[in-house]
A and B are shown apart, each in its own frame.
Chain A
Amino acid sequence: QVTLKESGPGILKPSQTLSLTCSFSGFSLSTSGMGVGWIRQPSGKGLEWLAHIWWDDDKYYNPSLKSQLTISKDTSRNQVFLKITSVDTADTATYYCARRAGGRYDYWGQGTTLTVSS
């Protein structure tokens, strides 16, 4: 059974660094073809794809945020991390991680909410 769960600080002040963790089970990121992505959604708004990491450590970022984003993984601990530097109020959102296999994001976590406020 595939599950993913996001965790994060909940609240940050502007200019701080956001560190998110996606902890998963039911698959391994050492398996060829597996990947995990991060997607966010401001309350009441649409979905924004942020970043993706593959089993072979290949990484991709949304160009609009690339300078702020770092994605990484710990295969042995079944975790993927996303760091966003210099957050501001526009980064207030629910952050999801999702597994990518067979050419689609087939399993999603429940999301973790972030509020950026001074």
Chain B
Amino acid sequence: DIVMTQSPSSLSVSAGEKVTMSCKSSQSLLNSGNQKNYLAWYQQKPGQPPKLLIYGASTRESGVPDRFTGSGSGTDFTLTISSVQAEDLAVYYCQNDHSYPFTFGSGTKLEIK
């Protein structure tokens, strides 16, 4: 199984600040055939199901604010929130979308000061 490692486990920032969080996979998520990275990011707010933010490592899902940006390739990926808003309070998960089982990272909890 591909192991997904997220860091930090939690972070606390003030509204308006820039945030970056990391996700590393134990194997490459790059499909050599089409050169696409199969990595997704989800946001889970308290009491809600996960919501897809980013897929293909960097493609924003329809309706997701452009302050959310995914980047990276191979085994190292980053989710950046350019200017954190109060409503971004959530746990953020990355997911291996490359090969079964589609494993998840343990999450990064974002708190707003």
Contact = CB atoms under 8 A, between A and B. Distances in A.
B84 interface: no
Interface in A65-107: 96, 102-106
A47 B48 CA distance: 13
B50 A108 contact: yes
A103 B38 contact: yes
A39 B49 CA distance: 10
**Interface on chain A toward B: helix, strand, loop, or mixed SS?**
strand
Contact of B55 (A46, A48, A60, A103): A103
A46 B1 contact: no
Interface string B30-68: 000000001010100000111110011000010000000
B73 interface: no
Contact of B102 (A52, A96, A106, A109): A52
Contact of B100 (A60, A104, A110): A60
Given A63-B1, A104-B40, A106-B61, A49 B104 contact: yes
Contacts of B102: 37, 49, 52
